[in-house]
Chains A and B, each alone.
Chain A
Amino acid sequence: MIGSFFRVAWHVMRKDLTVEVRSKEVLLTTLFFAVSVVLVFSFAIVREGRAPDDVAAGILWVAVSFSGTLAMGRTFERERYNDTLRALLLAPADRPAIYTGKLLGLLVLLGLVEVVLVPLVGLLFNAPIFAFPGRLAMLLVLGTVGFAAVGTLFAAMLVRVRSRDTLLPVLLYPITIPVMIAGVRGTAALFQQTPDLAMAQFWIGLLIFWDAIFITLALWTFEPVMTE
């Protein structure tokens, strides 16, 4: 039974990624948007040619958050446009498995965006991204998972709602701000002049805790909210 769960999730993820690989639409637009966000914030914050200290972490996570929200909206918009979501839900597959598949697809997408964003931020702000790569990677992965777990659920919930484009950020941001705070403060602790490893460890611990709670809650609620 666990086997079939992961098989279904894998197939849903593969479907999403196959569609994406063909057109690359969501990936490229999301990537470009993320880079634009970084640049806009840089221009807003840089003074006399220098950015204040500690902004790199904040800008990185803001870019992830904004572009992630767009990506979620777009992937489910595609389902709505082709009316394939109903087909998915009608399939004799475990609903939480469908959720997991969509979540994994989104994570791959956001992972690719972050692979570009992190070096960009490191370049523009002289942030030491290679100083503690393991911890930095953990923060990014855990933060993105927490953010995407809630976002996939909400984006799926809102698929048939009229003002879904504005409602998704309105619903998503207050609930995922703790995850964002953990991500930003943990990354800032790693990027600062004298890196505070204990602090980074602390935020990583907190992220694990939140991710566990959010994913479990999302798996529980996906089924009842998606039924008519």
Chain B
Amino acid sequence: MTKLNPLFIGLSAVMLGMAPWVINAAPYESTMGLVQKVFYFHFPSAILFLVAALICGVASAIFLFGKKPRADGWAIAAAELGLLFGTLTLVTGPLWARKAWGVWWVWDPRLTSSLLLWMIFSAYLLLRRYGGPGSDKLGAGMALFGMANVPFIYVSVNVWRTLHPQTSVVPTLPTEMGIPLWFCFAAFTMVFVTLLNLRARLEHQRARIEALYLAEDEA
């Protein structure tokens, strides 16, 4: 994976750079006009936000029950990325909503549970930072509860019909809108994978340093 890093970084940068042109070529949406184009960044961020939560939860479970120390590095990396992509989602969303719905925020299930998931990531990172020794296990325990939130967020829009466009909007997209969306989705996923990899690598190198210090102390 590490050898491919420069390739990933390069590819991510190029794709993200091309995105504005691709998005510009897409047609306007009839009811929402220009501002709907935020969708091309908002939707991939939101999906990757949920994916990060899943990765964090699964890695935490592997760390806690499978007792694999390396899994903890992936858990922290996923949590930071979840915070990042969550922030992107929660900022682009209201900017779109202000124009499309007239309000910055509504307390509907999807927005509320997304905000909660964001807060759970923040709490997790605070715990890892200030929890002292042993906070890796504690964080892992907490992350499991956080991950249980994710399916609820996804399903919530379909159970409670609200202002949010239904999840079925995406499959019915016409091609001129589909192509920019999937292009941006691919670009964002590339960025996500690259950053996740780098961040996990950072964590694993830190663990190696600690191990080396411990070995030095014993010698």
Chain A interfacial positions (CB closer than 8 Å to B): 150, 153-154, 157-158, 160-163, 167, 170-171, 173-175, 177-178, 181, 213-214, 217, 220-221, 224-225, 227-228
**Which residues, 59 to 85 on B, are CB-close (under 8 Å) to A?**
64-65
Quote the shortest CB–CB distance from A162 to chain B (angstroms).
Answer: 6
Quote the shortest CB–CB distance from B36 to chain A (angstroms).
Answer: 30
Give the residues in chain B near A224, CB-CB below 8 Å: 64-65, 137, 140-141
A170 touches B138 (CB 8 A): no
Q: Which of B90-98, B120-128, B163-171, B203-211 contacts A (4 or more CB under 8 A)?
A: B120-128
Give the residues in chain A near B113, CB-CB below 8 Å: 178
Chain B's interface size range is 20 to 34
B148 contacts which of A157, A163, A181, A217 (Cβ < 8 Å)? A217
3 pairs of A and B residues whose beta carbons are closest in the complex: A174-B119, A225-B141, A221-B141
Q: How far is the CA of A175 from the CA of B64 in the complex (A)?
A: 19
B126 touches A213 (CB 8 A): no
Q: How far is the CA of A161 from the CA of B134 in the complex (A)?
A: 9
B127 contacts which of A160, A171, A177, A214 (Cβ < 8 Å)? A171
Give the residues in chain B near A213, CB-CB below 8 Å: 148
Give the residues in chain B near A173, CB-CB below 8 Å: 119
Give the residues in chain B near A158, CB-CB below 8 Å: 131, 138
Max chain B CB contacts within 10 Å: which of A157, A171, A181? A171
The answer, yes or no, to whether B162 is at the interface (CB within 8 Å) is no
Give the residues in chain A near B5, CB-CB below 8 Å: none
Q: How far is the CA of A163 from the CA of B123 in the complex (A)?
A: 13
Q: How far is the CA of A161 from the CA of B139 in the complex (A)?
A: 12
The answer, yes or no, to whether B146 is at the interface (CB within 8 Å) is yes
Q: How far is the CA of A185 from the CA of B152 in the complex (A)?
A: 18
Give the residues in chain B near A228, CB-CB below 8 Å: 134
Give the residues in chain B near A217, CB-CB below 8 Å: 144-145, 148
Q: How far is the CA of A217 from the CA of B141 in the complex (A)?
A: 9
Give the residues in chain B near A178, CB-CB below 8 Å: 113, 116, 149, 152
The answer, yes or no, to whether B24 is at the interface (CB within 8 Å) is no
Give the residues in chain A near B132, CB-CB below 8 Å: 160-162
Q: How far is the CA of A59 from the CA of B70 in the complex (A)?
A: 45
Further contacts, 7 of them, CB under 8 A, given A163-B130, A220-B65: A175-B142, A177-B116, A217-B145, A224-B65, A224-B137, A224-B141, A225-B140
**Which residues, 18 to 45 on B, are CB-close (under 8 Å) to A?**
none
Q: How far is the CA of A163 from the CA of B134 in the complex (A)?
A: 13
A175 touches B131 (CB 8 A): no
Give the residues in chain A near B112, CB-CB below 8 Å: 181
**Which residues, 93 to 124 on B, are CB-close (under 8 Å) to A?**
112-113, 116, 119-120, 123
Quote the shortest CB–CB distance from A183 to chain B (angstroms).
Answer: 15
Max chain B CB contacts within 10 Å: which of A162, A174, A228? A174
Give the residues in chain B near A225, CB-CB below 8 Å: 64, 137-138, 140-141
A167-B130 CB under 8 A given contacts A157-B141, A224-B141, A225-B138: yes
B116 contacts which of A163, A167, A174 (Cβ < 8 Å)? A174
Quote the shortest CB–CB distance from B19 to chain A (angstroms).
Answer: 32
Quote the shortest CB–CB distance from B124 to chain A (angstroms).
Answer: 8
The contact sample of 15 A-B pairs, CB cut-off 8 A, is A153-B141, A157-B138, A160-B132, A161-B134, A162-B130, A170-B123, A170-B127, A175-B120, A214-B145, A214-B148, A217-B145, A220-B65, A221-B64, A225-B64, A225-B141
Q: How far is the CA of A41 from the CA of B147 in the complex (A)?
A: 33
Q: Which residue of B lies closest to A226 (CB)?
A: B137
Give the residues in chain A near B149, CB-CB below 8 Å: 175, 178
B144 contacts which of A160, A174, A221, A227 (Cβ < 8 Å)? A221
The answer, yes or no, to whether B158 is at the interface (CB within 8 Å) is no
Q: How far is the CA of A153 from the CA of B140 in the complex (A)?
A: 13
